[in-house]
C-alpha cells in the first residue's frame, strides 16, 4: 500500500526518477550543463547552454516503453519484494496489461537485476548443484536428459551466487568456484561428488559431506544445508509462480532470486532495484529479446 500511496501518479514517479538520476541536481545529458529550465506543461527539461530538451526518463529503459511509470514501479516492487517472485501471468492481471507486456517487464527487470559487480564469496562457502526441469513421460524420476543443471554457492551468513551450467564436470564446477569465490576463502564445503576434488589450495580447505551415507552434517559443522535450502526455495517458486521456466530463461530467473536473497536485509531494496534499472542502458542488454508465444514463466 505504501508504494501505491507514494507513486500513484506520474508526477510523483517522475520526481522519484529525477532524484535517483541526479541526486546532486539536474544535469544536461548532452553537454553536462547545470542550468536547466523546466517546461512543466510538457514534462520536459530544457538545457540553458545547448537548448537540448529531454525528459527525466530520456536514455533509460523507461523511455521507449510507452508504459506509464507507475506500472513499471509496481512491477519492480512486485518482482523484488515478493518472497517467491511473481509470474508474467500474475503481473498481467495485477497491472491490467497484456501478457506480452507483462512478459517484457519481467524480462527487462530481471535482466537489470543481474549483479555484474557482485562481491566474491569468502569465509565458509557451500557449493552444490541441482537439476531443474520437468519429468519426462516414460522415464523414471531419475532421468536427467531434459533437465538443466544449476550450480550455486552460498557464503555462510552471506550472499548466494547461482548459475546455469552445462554439466557437473570438474572443469565447469571448478571454473564456477574460481570465478565466484575469493582467492583466500577459508573453506569450501561440498558433497562427495568427485568432480569437486582438488578445489582446495594452500589457504582454502575443501570438506565434504557424505550424502550417500545420510551424513547430512559432518563433524565440525560441515554441511551444505544452506545452499540446499536455496534449491527448495527455487523449486517452490518454480512450481508456485512460474510453472515452467525454460532453460533459456532460467538464468534470468536465478538472477532475480539471487538479488532478492542477497538484499533480504536491505531496507532500500526497491530503490536499489530502480537504480539498477536506470543504469541498464537503453536497449543494450535487450536488443535480442523475443517474447515467446507460449507460457514461459
Q: Does 47 bind Zn ion (CB under 5 A)?
A: yes
11's grid cell: 508526477
Check binding of 53 to Zn ion (CB under 5 A).
no
Q: 162, exposed or middle or buried, with CB in 10 Å at 0-12, 13-18, 19+? A: buried
Closest separation between CB of residue 45 and Zn ion, Å? 10
Angle at 190 (CA atoms; ends 184, 194), nearest 5 degrees: 110
CA end-to-end distance (rounded Å), the chain? 26
Of 30-38, 159-167, 184-192, 241-249, which part binds Zn ion (CB under 5 A)?
30-38
Closest C-alpha to 223, from 120, 158, 154, 151: 154
Under the criterion CB under 5 A, does residue 29 sit at the interface with Zn ion?
Answer: no
Q: At 217, phi and psi to the nearest 5?
A: -130, 110
DSSP run (H or E) holding 275: helix 269-279
Please report whether residue 68 would count as binding Zn ion according to CB under 5 A.
no
Strands laid side by side in the 124-132 sheet: 160-165, 148-155, 124-132, 187-191, 205-209
Quick check: 39 binds Zn ion (CB under 5 A)?
A: no
Long-range CB pairs of 199-208, under 8 A, 24+ apart, other chains included: 199/173, 199/174
150 forms part of the interface with Zn ion (CB under 5 A): no
Check residue 12 for interaction with Zn ion (CB under 5 A): no
- Closest to Zn ion by CB, 26 vs 127, is 26
Does 30 engage in binding with Zn ion (CB under 5 A)? yes
Here the cell at position 36 is 536547466
Residue 132 near Zn ion by CB under 5 A: no
Q: Applying CB under 5 A, does 247 fall inside the site for Zn ion?
A: no
Stretch that binds Zn ion, among 24-32, 58-66, 123-131, 182-190 (CB under 5 A): 24-32
Pick from 31, 39, 200, 247 the residue near Zn ion by CB under 5 A: 31
Q: Stretches 1-9, 21-29, 70-78, 209-217: which one binds Zn ion (CB under 5 A)?
A: 21-29
Among 12, 14, 33, 241, contact with Zn ion (rule: CB under 5 A): 33
For position 161 contacting Zn ion by CB under 5 A, the verdict is: no
Member of 4, 35, 50, 217 binding Zn ion (CB under 5 A): 50
Closest to 189 measured CA to CA, from 230, 217, 167: 217
Phi-psi region of 123 (alpha: psi -120 to 50; beta: other; left: phi over 0): left
Nearer to Zn ion, 8 or 42 (CB): 42
Question: Is 34 an interacting residue with respect to Zn ion (CB under 5 A)?
Answer: no
Q: Of these, 28, 45, 160, 227, which contacts Zn ion (CB under 5 A)?
A: 28
Q: Tell me if 52 contacts Zn ion by CB under 5 A.
A: yes
CB of residue 283 to Zn ion, shortest distance in Å: 22
Residues linked to residue 45 through DSSP beta bridges, in sequence order: 38, 54
Tell whether residue 26 is a contact of Zn ion (CB under 5 A): no
Q: Which residues bind Zn ion (CB under 5 A)?
A: 28, 30-31, 33, 47, 49-50, 52
Amino acid at each position: 500500500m505504501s508504494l501505491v500511496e507514494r507513486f500513484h501518479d506520474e508526477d510523483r514517479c517522475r520526481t522519484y526518477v529525477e532524484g535517483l538520476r541526479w541526486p546532486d541536481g539536474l544535469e544536461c545529458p548532452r553537454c553536462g550543463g547545470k542550468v536547466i529550465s523546466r517546461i512543466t506543461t510538457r514534462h520536459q527539461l530544457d538545457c540553458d547552454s545547448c537548448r537540448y530538451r529531454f525528459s527525466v526518463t530520456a536514455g533509460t529503459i523507461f523511455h521507449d516503453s510507452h508504459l506509464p511509470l507507475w506500472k513499471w514501479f509496481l512491477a519492480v516492487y512486485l518482482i523484488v519484494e515478493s518472497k517467491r517472485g511473481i509470474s508474467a501471468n500474475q503481473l498481467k492481471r495485477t497491472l491490467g496489461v497484456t501478457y506480452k507486456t507483462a512478459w517484457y517487464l519481467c524480462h527487462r527487470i530481471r535482466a537489470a537485476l543481474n549483479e555484474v559487480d557482485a562481491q566474491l564469496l569468502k569465509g565458509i562457502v557451500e557449493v552444490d548443484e541441482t537439476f531443474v526441469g520437468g519429468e519426462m513421460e516414460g522415464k523414471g524420476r531419475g532421468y536427467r536428459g531434459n533437465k538443466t543443471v544449476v550450480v550455486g554457492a552460498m557464503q555462510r551468513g552471506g550472499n548466494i551466487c547461482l548459475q546455469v551450467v552445462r554439466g557437473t564436470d570438474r572443469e565447469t564446477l571448478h571454473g564456477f568456484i574460481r570465478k565466484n569465490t575469493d582467492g583466500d576463502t577459508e573453506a569450501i564445503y561440498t558433497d562427495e561428488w568427485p568432480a569437486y576434488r582438488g578445489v582446495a589450495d594452500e589457504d582454502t580447505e575443501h570438506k565434504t559431506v557424505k550424502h550417500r551415507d545420510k551424513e547430512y552434517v559432518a563433524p565440525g559443522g560441515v554441511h551444505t544445508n544452506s545452499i540446499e535450502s536455496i534449491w527448495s526455495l527455487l523449486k517452490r517458486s518454480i512450481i508456485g509462480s512460474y510453472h515452467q521456466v525454460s532453460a533459456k530463461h532460467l538464468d534470468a530467473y536465478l538472477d532475480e532470486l539471487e538479488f532478492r536473497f542477497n538484499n533480504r536485509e536491505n531496507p532500500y531494496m526497491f530503490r536499489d532495484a530502480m537504480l539498477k534499472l536506470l543504469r541498464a542502458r537503453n536497449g543494450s542488454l535487450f536488443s535480442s529479446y523475443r517474447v515467446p508465444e507460449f507460457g514461459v514463466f
